[in-house]
Chain A
Amino acid sequence: MAITRLASLEPTTAATTFSGISGDYECLYVMAQTKCDEASSGATQNSSIYMIFNADTTANYYRQRLYVYGSGNYGGYNAGGSSTSFNMFWESANSYGSYAGWSAAKISIPDYAVSGTNHACQVEATTISETSNAGISNEFAGWTWGGTDAITSITFTNQYSTFTDGTKFILYGLEA
């Protein structure tokens, strides 16, 4: 079997980390289901979920994004420069009011175990966070992390709050 489940996380805190990732595989996959514990509406209603490698919080991450949200809103985007993390979800699903939805994502990180060159990854993410169109989105993104060490840890951080019960990150290794 070439795909192996390596670890899973079910956080109810603001951040969670896969650490000590084995270098025995060619590609990592992370399957994620998230919801943020938001008690009120407003600016903090929909948190982003950030991802960093090897605890690197410097401006070392680059993104190109294709998105669609609501009804008839779509486009491409990049920030034109570096960020201090991957923004995995523009807005994750949340627990405010009667919002019953979840966010889901698949993250692919090929050749994560090599050193001496930087690392590319891809994210496919979907959010059904509200009953209105505005909280429904799909996103495809390509990222590059400028670090050249092998990736041995992945940290996910909730922008404004903690994760709710039921949030899950599962890490798989794909072996050639």
Chain B
Amino acid sequence: MADAMTHIATASFTGLSGDYSYNFTSIPATYKHLRFVIGTASRHQGDAAAGADAAFSLNGADTCTTIAGAITSGAASFSGMGSDATAVSNHTKIGSVTGNGFWDGTSGGYNGCGVIDVYNYSNTTYQKPRSYFFTCANGSSTNYGLELGWQNQPTTAAISNLWFDSSSGTGTNGYGSTSYPMHVYLFGIGLAA
């Protein structure tokens, strides 16, 4: 059936420490949009006790700009994000709530999840916006977080390569729980125009 979602690749992260990355290479230009579905992520780069950002990231080859977004963590904490090229650099952070620590399995042991959509990734005329939605309700009052945002990757070239990375930032690196790996599923949506 045309315009359905089609599985392209799956990355599995099982490490509990160290730096990890996974490169989705040679992404076919067959689809209209890309969707990353991220499940059962219970450890992350950030560390709540250390007050570090969780900088698990989806990278492109050039600098992204956050167009708009919102973050909430804990009870009654809320902030908006405006245009901010500095804070997000060249990647989509997953869980940038300082000191909160999305997906911190060391504290609550509860998982988070997330979705990233990359729109019109294969066109060669327009820049490439992304939207993302990450959440964690971790069982501890200091380890709740939700982040909703929109970014723009300013390339006009077709995107054929995106990678997940934990090699920057501070805190406890690693993905996956003690009992189950973290999965990142990549899907293609619809047919290219």
Contacts and interface: CB of A to CB of B under 8 A. Distances in A.
A3 interface: yes
Contact of A144 (B137, B141, B177): B137
A62 interface: yes
A146 B70 contact: no
Given A62-B144, A114-B40, A2 B4 contact: yes
A120 B40 CA distance: 7
Interface in B149-185: 177, 179-180, 183, 185
Contacts of A70: none
A80 B75 contact: yes
A160 interface: no
Contacts of A122: 113-115, 133, 135
Contacts of A15: none
Nearest to A27: B37
B42 A117 contact: yes
A27 to B, nearest CB: 5
Interface in A99-132: 108, 110-111, 114, 116-122, 124
Interface in B111-153: 111-115, 133-139, 141, 144-146, 148
A65 B72 contact: yes
Interface stretch (B5-13, B17-25, B47-55, B57-65): B5-13
Contact of B148 (A26, A78, A140): A140
A40 interface: no
A116 B141 CA distance: 23
Nearest to B178: A117
Given A62-B137, A64-B136, A78 B40 contact: no
Interface residues of A, number: 41
Nearest to A75: B78
B110 interface: yes
B72 A75 contact: yes
6 contacts: A27-B39, A64-B146, A111-B40, A142-B112, A142-B134, A144-B110
A76 B76 CA distance: 5
A110 B115 CA distance: 10
B177 A117 contact: yes
B67 interface: no
Contact of A118 (B10, B109, B135, B145): B109
Interface in A73-90: 74-82
B26 interface: no
B115 A176 contact: no
B143 to A, nearest CB: 9
Contacts of A176: 7, 10, 185
B139 A77 contact: no
B133 A140 contact: yes
A77 B180 contact: no
B193 interface: no
Contacts of B136: 64, 120, 142, 144
Contacts of A77: 72, 75-76
Contact of A140 (B139, B146, B183): B146
Interface string B74-88: 111110000000000
Contact of B39 (A1, A26, A81, A143): A26
